[in-house]
Amino acid sequence: MESDASKPQTTIEWGLLGQSIGPRIRLLRNALTARSISASAPYGLPTGSLTVLALIAANTGSSQTALARSAGLNKSALVGIVDELEARGLAARDRSERDRRRNSLSVTPEGEEVMRTLFTAVTTNEAPIRDALGQQDMTLLLSLLDRAIEAVQEADG
């Protein structure tokens, strides 16, 4: 008979990290990022393109700085993504009518189509999480994540 000590351990203890948020967020982020990269690979778009397209579509006319902050990207990373989206005809950058120093961003009709297709793929990739949590817990998770993000942003000033 095999002893328990000889059986491979399938899970490990978190130890000091038992109540830590970071490692769990990192595991989830890594899994979702890998799936997102796979879903967007046929389009050859940079990582973060769906996020940037969705934020532009929901906030037409917003500044690149505001979008970068919302996307969790530094401004130069956002500009690189916007450059690529613009070069492919998925987004447009025009001078703001209110402030000529700013660019106003919008999503083109082709960009809308790509965004919706990518969103469907990403939503499919998130299905195991949604299925495991159910609608009520999923709504709660999103609310808690929003509050956590706000708290970190406020702490960072």
- The CA angle 68-70-75, to the nearest 5 degrees, is 10
Per-residue model confidence as pLDDT tens digits over 18-54: 999 999 999 999 999 898 888 888 989 988 899 999 9
Q: Judge: domain 23-35+44-156, CATH 3.40.50.720.
A: no
> In which band, very low, low, confident or very high, does the pLDDT at 2 lie, cut at 50, 70 and 90?
low
Please give the residue that has the higher pLDDT: either 101 or 79.
79
Confirm whether pTM is higher than 0.75.
yes
> What's the confidence (pLDDT) of residue 7?
63
Mean pLDDT of 60-70: 85
Per-residue model confidence as pLDDT tens digits over 105-154: 899 999 999 999 999 998 999 999 999 999 999 999 999 999 999 999 89
The three state secondary structure string of 65-115 is HHHHHHHCCCHHHHHHHHHHHHHCCCEEEEECCCCCCCEEEEECHHHHHHH
